Amino acid sequence: MYIAQAYNILHDWWRYIVGVIIAVTGVFIFSLPHFVAIGIETVKGNIDQSKMNDASYIMGLFEPNLNLVFVLLPFTGGLLLLLLAVKFLHKQAIKHLTTTRDKIDWKRFWFIFLVWGTVSSSFVLVHYYINPEDFQLNFNLVPFLILCVIAIILVPLQTSFEEYLFRGYLMQGIGIVAKNKWVPLIITSLVFGLLHIANPEVDKLGSVIMIYYIGTGLFLGILTLMDEGMELALGFHAANNLFTALLVTADWTAFQTHSILKDMSDPEKMGVMEIFVPVFVVFPILLFILSKKYNWKNWKDKLFGEVIKPQKEDYRTLEEIGSK
């Protein structure tokens, strides 16, 4: 039903290509302040041109709070223009891009947000307790409070852009073209993961980290298809990035912030368990818990079944719902 809702809008395949181009244009426009700032620093001679291919160097060019704004602004632009494309190019209500329910279920969002925020923070704190030498206390009240304001406003916009683009827009668009559910699930997960290849973490940890990125995309896609809506994926992703930005940073991560802790460990010595355990242990456990809480059934059809165009009677009903 979630993918089939796209039959109720203007869903020509070319519209999705145009929509993606519009979203990417938003990303580019809102990247201009960062480009201008880099240009100014280059003119001043404050930038080492030999390091411009080093992603972690670029991520640390400016004061951390200012740098975080530069990093997150493009996602805000992408989200804004994507939602405009959804509304005017496809004539689709944001609610129907988000969920099959009568209204967006914010209880779902906040449940997984709090659960994953607690679990992910616990992992960091346990690591800190076991290996305190791997961390440095990084807390500074005023910069941290400024970080909180920036992160609470912009991080959810960043994660929402990625979710609405991959688990929403492309999941529905590819689904009605492929007429099944597994093709959009696989494609969106792969593309989501591969787009993280420019992150500085990949330089330090190697290509094995792509298993985590692609696995996370697959997990979020399964959440969306099984739950017939994006609320859980939106909440999980927001919690994952927000708690990380506030709790721990490192010189080799995409988010270099005024967080409470700074990871000083050697990333090249990070064990594969820290990459594999979330994907192959923690995520399946979460899926099991959520399946019990929300009574998910018929996994095979929801993940691998056909996308069936609604009958004329159902189509009218969907139109009536969409007009409300």
What pLDDT is stored for residue 312 in this prediction?
Answer: 57
What pLDDT is stored for residue 271 in this prediction?
Answer: 60
Q: Which residue range is the domain that position 52 belongs to?
A: 4-323
Region of residue 249 (phi > 0: left; psi between -120 and 50: alpha; otherwise: beta): beta
pLDDT at 24 over 50: yes
**Alpha-carbon span 275 to 150, nearest angstrom:** 28
What pLDDT is stored for residue 57 in this prediction?
Answer: 74
**Alpha-carbon span 223 to 307, nearest angstrom:** 17
DSSP symbol at 308: P
- Beta-bridge mates of residue 135: 263
Q: What is the pLDDT of residues 168-193, one digit of tens each?
A: 999 999 999 999 999 999 999 999 99
Rounded to 5 degrees, what angle do the CA atoms 13, 18, 24 make?
Answer: 130
Does residue 189 contact residue 221 with C-beta atoms inside 8 Å?
yes
Whole-number percent of the chain with pLDDT over 90: 76
**Overall domain count for the chain:** 1
Q: What is the pLDDT of residues 250-275, one digit of tens each?
A: 888 888 899 999 999 877 766 667 78
pTM: 0.92
What pLDDT is stored for residue 272 in this prediction?
Answer: 65
Beta-carbon contacts of 51 under 8 Å, excluding residues fewer than 6 positions away, are: 57
Q: What is the pLDDT of residues 36-56, one digit of tens each?
A: 999 998 888 888 777 777 766
What pLDDT is stored for residue 270 in this prediction?
Answer: 66
**Alpha-carbon span 236 to 253, nearest angstrom:** 20
Q: What is the pLDDT of residues 59-88, one digit of tens each?
A: 778 999 999 999 999 999 999 999 999 999
DSSP symbol at 139: -
Which residue in this structure is represented by tokens 């960091």?
124
* CA 110, chain centre distance (Å): 16
Residue 321 — pLDDT band, cuts 50, 70, 90?
very low
Output the six-digit token pair for 158: 């960043």
Residue 317 — pLDDT band, cuts 50, 70, 90?
very low
Backbone angles phi, psi at 306, to 5 degrees: -80, 155
The mean predicted confidence, pLDDT, of the chain is: 91
* DSSP tally for the chain: helices H, then strands E: 16, 3
E strand map for 169-251: 248-249
